[in-house]
Amino acid sequence: MTKKNYRKLACAVALATSFASLPGVSSAEEGNEPETAVTAQAGEAAAQQSPETVTAQDAENVASQNAEAAPQGDADTAAAQDGEAAARQSDEAADAAAPQDASEATLQQAAGDEAGKVAADAGNDRIRDWAKLRPTEEAIEAYKKKYEGKTIVDIELDGATDATRATAEKAGKLHAGDKYTAAGLDEDMAALLDTGYYYDLFPSFEEVPEGVVLTYHLLENPVLKSLKITGNTVEKTEDLLALVPLRTGELLNSVELRRDVQRIQERYRADGYILAKITDLNIDKAGNLTIKINEGTIEGFKVKGNKKTKDYVILREMRQKVGEPFNAKKTQRSWQRVNNLGFFEEVNPKIVPGVNPNAVVVEWDVKEKRTGTFSVGAGYSSQDGVIGMLSVGDTNFRGTGDAVSITYEVSGDDTDAHGYSVSYRHPWIDQKQTVGTIRVYNRTYEYDDYNDDGDYIESYMRKYSGGEITLGRPVSEYSTNYITLRNRKDKYCRLTGIGNEEHGAYDSAQHKAWVDYNFGLTRSLTLSHVTDTRDNIYFPTTGGRVSLTGEIGGFGGGFSYRKADVEDQRYFKAGHAQVWALRGQYGWGSGHLSEFSRYKVGGQDSLRGYRDDQFRGERMFLATLEYRFPIVSKVQGALFTDWGGAWDDGLWPDEVKGSVGIGMSLTTPLGPIRLDYGRGSDGGRIHFSVGGTF
């Protein structure tokens, strides 16, 4: 480091000379204008945000661009102009030197600013007198080379008090009797500054017959009287002060202050406030140190690319408000919430500089995907006449975020499959994010019944009608409570096919008793608590989902029962795009459960490799381990094993069924499509579903 750079570093306030990330430092005297004389700003070009996440570097670049546009303190004074010139010289020196990182370059620029401005602070007698006494850089450079090779007779420390003398004596490598070198002088001056006790220093020489007497003229830092932190709103003052354990009544040590104040930056960063900066350090004549923080605020939000979706549908998912300090973690969570709406192919947050210094505008650029579905089918037979099906749905109805689904089936004969199903979901009923869902249905369809061994029993027309209402409200960022009221009637309409006669003769009293016991009116109340920390609800890679559910049946219906179950899903990254998915579920029931309310295991959503609803009972257990991996774009493969069963008595089944298999998931405009092949004790079976798996 050159002597010119020493002067620039030495003339900065103690912290500014050693803490590269500080944009400004002040030194003021009592009776002068507050926080004058010293400010330094460093500017960088703003960078665009990556498509999926907000990085700390992006935010810092934006903040630096804001800082570049911000006005300099005392910019209209000659001293300020000198400081700016010194900053430019510092930058040039840094470019000419060996490669340095960005933080060191910023340090030299800040120190250069301080050099000109501190010297011009006429209100500070101590600094003013020192500036008069101090030789110019050119003079120091000239005479320090003049005595090259002479013997050092003695080394004196002018200005060092008893508090710092011992430290200063140990810092230097040149000693009496050594040959003097300019390089050694540079190293010792740097070492003295690195002790942290000195505001500035310069050397002088006295030539004697035996050689040369070297004197270091030292300007000590002031004694610290008090410490105050201002500008903090999201971090408690007492917590920040605990990170800066400076001792009052002692000389201010810039090295210790740099280390301690760095912890403030680290605390903010750890909590996600990556725009937070120490914008000013002011120590007055009495030794009162003030640390000023600018936490970096959100100036506004903008939405781009949405043609159908209303702006408010996206903006209501923001986890921060305008005027709050920017937080990268909350922005990432906002991205997750917008992405989990399922309305967009791409969601890209970008940070752009705001109007005010260290303020940003968060811009959300989205690419919409098709959310509506429409399907129709029709046929004709001489027996039933016209047979048709119509299904219409939209998960983002009219761009409001509401979900609507309508299905209607018709046939020429009422004994055939027919009926309707309607559902409507409104996600934001009020400002507390209450979600409401209503379903109304009246359908008749054919159901194939099998026993636990997979043997065909019978086929019959089954009708269910009624409705249910569900309300949910978040209790925290990741947890939601739900309540569901259900009124449903199940009816056994007519027999359409016969296998073995497990129920006895189908016109017997035994079969009639089975129908009477399992079909009728169900009225129930269901309470559930769900905690969902998955990063993506459609293709999760991290986090999990835990649900606790309790259901009570009765309330004037034909079935009185109690049910409780718990389910836990976990996801772990196993590489760049590979994921381990685990699921465990256990259910318990008692009382008079209808055929509809009994636990059912088997099929795509539970135990693959077996028939749908093959195992039924009042108890249930499921466990799944799945390894998921990418094949090509929008196609994902899976290897899995499922274990579980359903039974009526006891806490554990007499036999647990298992299967292994392979699967594939495809992302389409209609949503995820899942195809699995599972092989269990009854052989292999193919399963197909729209909407994916757990």
Give the model's pLDDT for residue 61.
58
Give the model's pLDDT for residue 59.
57
Q: Please count the structural domains in the chain.
A: 2
Residue 568 clears pLDDT 60, i.e. is over it: yes
- Burial (CB < 10 A; 0-12, 13-18, 19+), residue 173, is exposed
Q: Tell me the per-residue pLDDT of 62-109, one tens digit each, with 9 for 90 and over.
A: 555 554 444 333 333 333 333 333 333 333 333 333 333 333 333 333
- Which pTM does this prediction carry? 0.77
CB 70 within 8 A of CB 357: yes
Give the model's pLDDT for residue 374.
86
Token pair 């301690």 in the structure block, residue: 260
Q: Which of 172, 207, 242 is the last residue of a domain?
A: 207
> How far from each other are the two terminal CA atoms of the chain, in whole angstroms?
61
CA angle 86, 88, 92 (to 5 degrees): 115
Q: Which of 349, 341, 335 is nearest to 305 (CA)?
A: 349
Residue 15 clears pLDDT 70, i.e. is over it: no
Mean residue pLDDT of the chain comes to: 82
| Residue 276 maps to a domain | no
Q: Tell me the per-residue pLDDT of 217-231, one tens digit each, with 9 for 90 and over.
A: 999 999 999 999 999
Sign, CA dihedral 555-558-562-566, equals: negative
C-alpha to C-alpha distance for 80 and 92, rounded to whole angstroms? 19
C-alpha to C-alpha distance for 673 and 342, rounded to whole angstroms? 15
Residue 27 clears pLDDT 50, i.e. is over it: no
CB 173 within 8 A of CB 188: yes
| Residue 251 maps to a domain | no
| Residue 223 maps to a domain | no
Q: Which of 191, 207, 223 is the last residue of a domain?
A: 207
What whole-number percentage of the chain has pLDDT above 70? 79
| Residue 140 maps to a domain | yes
C-alpha to C-alpha distance for 341 and 400, rounded to whole angstroms? 11
| Residue 415 maps to a domain | no
Give the model's pLDDT for residue 55.
47
| Residue 212 maps to a domain | no
Structure-block tokens of residue 151: 């013997």
Residue 506 clears pLDDT 80, i.e. is over it: no
Q: Tell me the per-residue pLDDT of 48-61, one tens digit each, with 9 for 90 and over.
A: 334 444 445 555 55
| Residue 275 maps to a domain | no
Domain that holds residue 132: 3-26+38-43+68-207
Distance set, CA 637 to CA 277, 535, 569 (Å): 46, 19, 19
Q: Tell me the per-residue pLDDT of 512-562, one tens digit each, with 9 for 90 and over.
A: 899 999 999 999 999 999 999 999 998 999 999 999 999 999 999 999 999
* Secondary structure (DSSP) of 269-338: HHTT-TT-EEEEEEE-TT-EEEEEEE--EEEEEEEES-SSS-HHHHHTT-SS-TTSBP-HHHHHHHHHHH
Give the model's pLDDT for residue 694.
81
Q: Which residues pair with 571 in a beta bridge?
A: 543, 581
The pairing of beta strand 619-632 with beta strand 635-647: antiparallel
Q: Tell me the per-residue pLDDT of 451-492, one tens digit each, with 9 for 90 and over.
A: 888 888 888 999 999 999 999 999 999 999 999 999 999 999
Q: Tell me the per-residue pLDDT of 303-312, one tens digit each, with 9 for 90 and over.
A: 999 999 999 9
Distance set, CA 367 to CA 306, 309, 650, 665, 667 (Å): 7, 10, 52, 22, 16
Give the model's pLDDT for residue 413.
63
The pairing of beta strand 599-601 with beta strand 579-591: unpaired
| Residue 7 maps to a domain | yes
The pairing of beta strand 344-353 with beta strand 372-381: unpaired
- Around Cβ 156, how many Cβ atoms within 10 Å? 12
Q: Which of 207, 224, 250 is the last residue of a domain?
A: 207
C-alpha to C-alpha distance for 528 and 23, rounded to whole angstroms? 51
Token pair 């030794």 in the structure block, residue: 287
Q: Which residues pair with 216 in a beta bridge?
A: 157, 203
Distance set, CA 229 to CA 110, 223, 289 (Å): 21, 18, 9
The greatest distance separating any two alpha carbons of the chain, rounded to the nearest whole angstrom, comes to: 131
Residue 32 clears pLDDT 90, i.e. is over it: no
C-alpha to C-alpha distance for 166 and 407, rounded to whole angstroms? 88
* Secondary structure (DSSP) of 592-651: ---TTTSEEE-STTS-TTS-TT-EEESEEEEEEEEEEEEEETTEEEEEEEEEEEEESSSS
C-alpha to C-alpha distance for 446 and 495, rounded to whole angstroms? 9
Q: Tell me the per-residue pLDDT of 372-381, one tens digit each, with 9 for 90 and over.
A: 988 887 765 5
Sequence-distant (6+) residues with CB within 8 A of 270 are none
Give the model's pLDDT for residue 575.
86
Q: Tell me the per-residue pLDDT of 381-408, one tens digit each, with 9 for 90 and over.
A: 554 556 688 999 999 999 999 999 999 9
Rounded average pLDDT over 151-165: 93
- CA-based R_g, the chain, Å: 38
